[in-house]
Every structure is written in C-alpha cells, then in structure tokens.
Chains A and B, each alone.
Chain A
C-alpha cells in the first residue's frame, strides 16, 4: 500500500502541531468556541450528543495491520475500547476528551493516519470498492487513482471552502460496490473500443433530503485527463453552487438547477482551460503511486484442505457461502469479516477484535485490510487453504457471523444514540431486526437483503438505496420510522419509494417482519430476490402487508 512521502509526513506532523496549539488556546480561553469550532472540524473533531467524536480518515478504506493495531491502542488509551466503522470507510471514536485529542492525532501520525478533511465543506475521504485489487470482476485496481485524488484534494487551496461537502467514490469493476451513483462525483472504470482503460464520470448524485442518482457527464475519460477533469467539475461547482441555502448547496442541486446539458458544457469548457495546465507531473506521480499498489506475491499451493473442510464442517460451510467472494486468483478468496454479530452495533469493533483482524491480515492476508462502506472489514487476499484457520480465529472473538449480504448485515448510522443531528435512534432498530430474524431463523430463507437505516434525513445510513430503507424521524416529539422499498446502490442504482405513513419505535420491527413474510409469500421462486420481487410487483403487496391490519383496526 501507499506509504507517506516526506511531504505527506511533514504536512501531517505540521497539522498536528498546529492543532495542538489551537486546542491549548481553546482551553486557556484565547480562542472562543466560535473561533475554535471551524478549526476542530477541519481536524475531524465533532461535539456530539454525549461527548466529542473524532472521525479518522481511512483513505479508500485501505488500512494496514500496523494502523489497525494503532487504532486499537487509541481505543484502549483514549476511548472506551472500541471504534465505529462508518459508511464512508472511516472510523469514529465516540468518547475522546478534548485535552487528549492532540495526543491521539500524534499517535495517528505515527502510523501515517490523520483526521484532516473528514469534516467541513471540502473534498472528503475518497471512497473505493472495498474489494479493489482483489475482485475477479475488476478491470483495474482503482486505488492508485483514489490516492492521486487524495493527494490532489488534500489542502487544495481552491477547494477548502466549497459551497458544501464533496464526496468522490471510485470503482474499478462493472459491478458497483462503491455506490458511485450516489456521490457528488462517481468514477467507474471502463474500457473504450481501443481497449484502453478510462472512467465513466458521473456527477450530481447524493442522498440526504433530496436524493438523486448521478448523471453521466462523460462516457469515457482517458486516465491522463482525470485530475484536470475532476478539477473542472469542482471549479464549476465552486462558482455555481449555492451558498445562500445549506439545503440547496450540494452539487446535485447545482446539476438539477443548471441542467445536465448546460453543466456538462460548462465542465467541458473549463476542462479545455485547465487541461494544458497539467504538464504531466500528475502522470509521473501516478506512476509512482501505482507501484505502491502492486499486487501481493500470491502463493501457489494446493487448496484441497479447504475443499475437505468445506465438505466436513457445516458451520464453516455456511460462513464460506455467505462471507467469501471470488478472488481474481482462483486459489484465493476475499473474506468479508462481519462486524454485524446479531444484537451488536453495526460497524463497532472492540480493540481485541481489531488486533485479531490485524494479526490475521499479517499471518494470512498479505498485510492488507479494508473497511467497507457497509461497515464490515475485509481481508482481500486469503489463500483458500488458510480459510479454516482464519474462520476459527475469527470465531474466537465473535467475528465469524455468517450473515454478509443477508438481512442482519444492516447499515446503520450512529443515530440519536450519539449524533447531535439525529432525529431518532438507528442502532437499536438494527440490532432488534437482526435478533428478530435470527430468532425466526428466516435469514437464509430470505436471502440477499440490504436494510439501511438512517437516524435523520441526512441519510448517512444510505436508507434511500437500501432494498428496505428505514428513516428515523421526530414526529411531534415521538420517534417515527418511515419505510422505503426498492432502493439499490449498485450499477442499477435506484432510490427507494416510500410505502406510506411511518411506524413507531416499537412497531417498526414487526412492520419489517410483515414485509418479509409478504415477500416469502409472493416471490416466484426462492431464487427471486426481494429486490427483484419489488421490481416485478411494485409496492402494492407490501403496502397491504404493512397497513391492512391497521386499516382493519381503524374500521372496527
């Protein structure tokens, strides 16, 4: 993976020193909160409901064992022994104390990590396919481009005060696992007729209060044009984007109000101005970066042990069936470690669990770990003969849950258990749904299912693109949960449709159960997924399941 250059190192260290002094000046009263707030946010430090929260960037979700151990150390020393992996491939610490934050940032800098640009109206952490460099369906590893974008966007003087935050996602595969169509800029690697790699550029996607699927503004962008083109998009947005209304400030609104044709024209025009200014240094840099993402030295060894174990052990088989993904090397597998044990908070890993994952990555995983936007951890390169040992080690620390892609593999934002912006809780809804379907033993019967829960309209939990989306709201001082169906975050992206009136806190889990029972009753065959059933039949059978019992009560 990429290692810091001297420039990166001194930049991050200088920022730690600067913020250390800013914290001192806040604590001695030289800075007011109004003065300090933008400074702390630039360094990822929020004040949440019960405590401060530090959001640490994990660029494109790639993290080394050494970094993972340092996160565990920070969790033990300065927090409550755990961290929360987020839907933007970052990690959040929920309980840091302000005087400790400089030491935490120092500890992060020691392992080439930081919290810069994890907040504020700037280009945030560039996210990527969590199977990058390993997936069998991949055209090319997208991470060198993500790293190039990271370097270009970090402290970019023109883009520190954008109208609003700006999120870029990139995938190297036709099967989109990075939700690129719901980002401010989505980049999808494609091949042109000549067989050259390039990008489909999508602009103006986003969730939040005005969910939109991105428009394609370029079908094929040559690799050498990446930075000038992205800079052109940012530049047009920086000029046109609305600063008068926070709720209309994202680029999706700019695209919507300007029109796809006109904004494409403006981007292209700006691009022709910018392109000559990029003299090739970026491409030289890209070549250096590529070397850092060279594939590991794959081992050539028999996989019979895996086959035998798979046949013999039903628990292992169940885990292998749900948590493994085909690797480009057929002796290898991609392991998704479920950080979603039934009843546990989605995305929360204890320091012990972090250390075990770090050990496994070192011992069996070519020193590579990923964080997925679905709040799980990935070992991207595991030789199949090592899978039984990996599974056994994971089971020791509660990380062997065989539920990836199933109903209990839920995305949930922190919600009102932590977040100052939330309007309702998310975490307890997620844990109750997971436990309910485990008790019913319906999880595997239901099959592929993505439930995504947000505790407010800002949609950090991606509810709009959940097969089932749940949005927690405050309705007249009571938690209320709105359901959407048919959302999709992949290459066939779609925003889910609302079913109707919301459900109270203690009604939402039974409501989800009614939807699932309706699905099991109306699906054509077990192979027809929930999403396919919704697309075939629409919302009607599910509305009947959700509301007819209520209607009957009203009539009585």
Chain B
C-alpha cells in the first residue's frame, strides 16, 4: 500500500527579483503562503507542478513543498519552508519587511 499523500503547495522564486512565491488555485503567484493552493491529490500536484514549470518568464525552480491546512490557509510543515515565508532571521529583510511596507 502506498503511503498517504502529504498535502503540497507549489513554490518557486520569481525570475526577476528572486522572491519566494506560491501558486494559487487561480494560477496567480503570491508572496503569501496561506494564499497558496493546498494540493491534496498526488496526480493533481504533478499537473500543477507542470503548469508552474511552463512559466519560465515568471519563475525559477518550482517544486512541491509539504504543507498542512491551517485556520487561514496552508501552513508550511518544514522549518526551511517556514523561513522561506519570512526571510532571514538576522535582519528584518525579505518578505517579512516587504509585506509590511
């Protein structure tokens, strides 16, 4: 029996700025993890990743990252993905600062 599929989000970096972004259900790229489409089906995840990979003028290096449902939308599971939602911990730089501005 195959293991239960861990839900995923599609994530990548923006081509021009390098910012971390997530694919939404309506095919937009958002800076906010909780706005991402939470994908609970493996076949659908592969289709969404293919869709993302085709957008070579917008993003770089798309991949599927583990996620879980939260009260406001998908939340990261691994600490690396949690850091990617914010930015570095030594300065108030990256999305944690940009999103507030």
Contacts and interface: CB of A to CB of B under 8 A. Distances in A.
Interface string A469-503: 00000100111000000000000000000000000
A50 B61 contact: no
B97 to A, nearest CB: 9
A477 B79 CA distance: 7
Nearest to A32: B56
Contacts of B95: 50
A27 B19 contact: no
B84 A49 contact: yes
A417 B89 contact: yes
**Interface size classification for chain A:** 20 to 34
Tell me which of A51, A52, A479 has the highest count of chain B C-beta atoms within 10 A of its own C-beta.
Answer: A51
Interface string A74-106: 000000100000000000001101110000000
Contacts of A26: 15
B83 A49 contact: yes
Interface string A30-52: 00110000000000000111111
Interface residues of B, number: 25
A425 B80 CA distance: 10
A29 B19 CA distance: 19
A478 B80 CA distance: 10
Interface string B4-18: 000000000101111
Interface in B1-56: 13, 15-20, 56
A108 to B, nearest CB: 19
Nearest to A34: B56
A428 B89 contact: yes
B99 interface: no
Interface string B65-99: 00000000000011110011001111101110000
Nearest to B20: A50
B57 interface: yes
A319 interface: no
A271 to B, nearest CB: 43
B90 A33 contact: no
Nearest to A53: B18
B10 to A, nearest CB: 16
Contacts of A479: 79
A49 B82 CA distance: 11
B88 to A, nearest CB: 4
A387 interface: no
Contact of B18 (A52, A416, A428): A52
A80 B90 contact: no
A98 B80 CA distance: 23
Contacts of A51: 13, 17-19, 94
Contact of B83 (A94, A416, A431): A416
Nearest to A37: B60
A98 B94 CA distance: 16
Contact of A50 (B15, B56, B77, B94): B94
B18 A98 contact: yes
Contacts of A32: 56
Contacts of B13: 47, 51
Given A29-B56, A416-B83, A477-B78, A98 B15 contact: yes
Given A29-B56, A477-B77, A477-B78, A99 B90 contact: no
B56 A418 contact: no
Q: Can you list the 7 inter-chain pairs with the closest CB atoms, starting with the nearest?
A: A417-B88, A51-B18, A52-B18, A50-B94, A427-B90, A345-B90, A29-B57
Given A49-B84, A50-B95, 13 more contacts: A27-B15, A47-B60, A49-B20, A49-B80, A50-B87, A50-B93, A94-B88, A95-B93, A427-B88, A428-B89, A431-B90, A477-B77, A479-B79
18 contacts: A26-B15, A27-B57, A29-B57, A32-B56, A33-B56, A47-B61, A50-B20, A50-B84, A50-B87, A51-B18, A80-B93, A99-B16, A416-B79, A417-B90, A427-B88, A428-B89, A477-B79, A479-B79
